[in-house]
Amino acid sequence: MSSINIKSVDWFGRAQNFFPGGVNSPVRAFKAVGGVPPVLAKGEGPYVHDIDGNRYLDFVGSWGPLIAGHAHPDVVEAAIKAIRSGSSFGAPTPAELELAELIKKAIPAMELLRFVSSGTEATMSALRLARGFTGREKIIKFAGCYHGHADLLLAQAGSGVATLGLPDSPGVPRAVTQDTIVLPFNDLTAVEEVFARQGREIAALIVEPIAGNMGMVMPQAGYLAGLRRLTEQAEVVLIFDEVMTGFRVARGSAQALFGITPDLTCLGKVIGGGFPCAAFGGRREIMQKLAPLGPVYQAGTLSGNPVAMAAGAATLRLLEQDAAYKKLNQHSQHLTEGLARLSKKYSLPLQVAQAGGMLGMFFAPRPVQNYDDARTSDTKRYARFFHEMLNRGFYFAPSQFEAAFVSLAHTSSQIDETLAAAGEVLALLASAAE
């Protein structure tokens, strides 16, 4: 660690006395890449600044929400205006309707929706609702997909085939995950087999339509359509967890990109413009089972918070212009194509993927289709790449198994600068490999 980060090192040392591992969410602690995280003091457009005075071009964007960049004037104005009128009421407000209209316009499958405060709440509530609606208990998720930290979702496949989920984390009772079936992503046959055996016991199938939490993995051609067909036949509720991909890969989200209509959709991140806000919604007949219309209980003191609603609406308005997604696509394509070119030049195996303002790279020998493939990545090489880029002023996610994000604030010349730095770093990695 260079001396220029002395304040961050000191701060992070003190933080150990307050927070487990010095952080309030685990990946922030840099365990996967080593070292001490820069402690961030300020965000400005595409940049973040740490307390030591270093500036980084940011490809994390608070893990996805900041599609407009940091402190976009429209978002700041909207939030300030809202807070001047009161920060929370726990009662209906006009702002809820404004954000809901913007969401429904882009994602018509969300016939009715409910706002919550985090992606975890959205997926957890959607699954409770699906169970309440179908009267069935089992759910299917895919290895390497992350849907937040609710107990029932902290389960992973052991052998990559249909198994009863085992608790992934101490503290999760076996009884809670025994109805969670974990299957490999991009493998329709695995789903078919489970449905043939126990389709009528399954309440819901939840999937990240473009996986972003094992690194970025695109669905194979026909995979999502296959999931739609199978769930429809078995009357299983199909849930697209678009907490990451929602308004990120396209205005209509991944479901518009692939032309698939799920029964329920979960959103988060972008729709709150950097404030705690998420949502779940979908078919009216399912959503009507939710209290107070129906018997499935779900509630939240801060749900539909007016400051988050206002910031979210300001963000979605920026995304209404067609040019927005053109720009996001151009920048992330420019970056992934540049990285692919450089990896060829230096004979380093690198797999890249891109959709809208989301991109991914794996230091893996073969194209990545699922979690097992993702785990063939050279995580040490990624750690070296990450630190060399950070030292040059480029802030990527501190883990091989995360996506990268570009914002409307990034410029083409900043992507060129990133590729110039990546060229130096990949040359270093290639020489280290010799």
| Side chain identity, residue 235 | E
Tokens of 283: 């078919």
Q: Which is nearer to ligand PLP, 127 or 328 (CB)?
A: 127
Farthest CA pair distance, the chain? 65
Q: Answer yes or no whether residue 134 interacts with ligand PLP by CB under 6 A.
A: no
| Side chain identity, residue 126 | A
| Side chain identity, residue 114 | R
* Of positions 72, 141, 147, 381, contacts ligand PLP by CB under 6 A: 147
Q: Answer yes or no whether residue 303 interacts with ligand PLP by CB under 6 A.
A: no
- Fill in the per-residue mask, 36 to 65: x = in contact with ligand PLP (CB under 6 A), - = not in contact: ---------------------------x--
Give the span between the Cα atoms of 246 and 32, in whole angstroms. 27
Q: Answer yes or no whether residue 360 interacts with ligand PLP by CB under 6 A.
A: no
CA-wise closest residue to 182 among 206, 203, 154, 163? 163
* Of positions 78, 243, 319, 404, contacts ligand PLP by CB under 6 A: 243
Q: Give the range of 236-244, 297-305, 361-369, 389-397 binding ligand PLP by CB under 6 A.
A: 236-244
Q: Give the range of 193-201, 224-232, 240-248, 384-392 binding ligand PLP by CB under 6 A.
A: 240-248
Q: Which is nearer to ligand PLP, 50 or 208 (CB)?
A: 208
Q: Report the relative pairing of strands 47-50 and 40-44 from DSSP bridges.
A: antiparallel
Q: Answer yes or no whether residue 123 interacts with ligand PLP by CB under 6 A.
A: yes
Q: Answer yes or no whether residue 268 interacts with ligand PLP by CB under 6 A.
A: yes
241 carries an active-site annotation: yes
Would you say 262 and 238 are in contact if contact means Cβ atoms under 8 Å apart? yes
- Residue nearest ligand PLP, CB atom distance: 119
Would you say 246 and 279 are in contact if contact means Cβ atoms under 8 Å apart? no
Q: Which is nearer to ligand PLP, 147 or 384 (CB)?
A: 147
* Of positions 37, 46, 69, 119, contacts ligand PLP by CB under 6 A: 119
Q: Answer yes or no whether residue 148 interacts with ligand PLP by CB under 6 A.
A: yes
47 carries an active-site annotation: no
Tokens of 409: 């604030």
Q: Which is nearer to ligand PLP, 9 or 308 (CB)?
A: 308
Among the listed residues 187, 223, 263, 269, the single catalytic one is: 269
10 carries an active-site annotation: no
Residues of the shown chain interacting with ligand PLP in the complex, contacts defined by CB under 6 A = 63, 118-120, 123, 146-148, 208, 212-213, 241, 243-244, 268, 278
Q: Which residues are catalytic?
A: 146, 241, 269
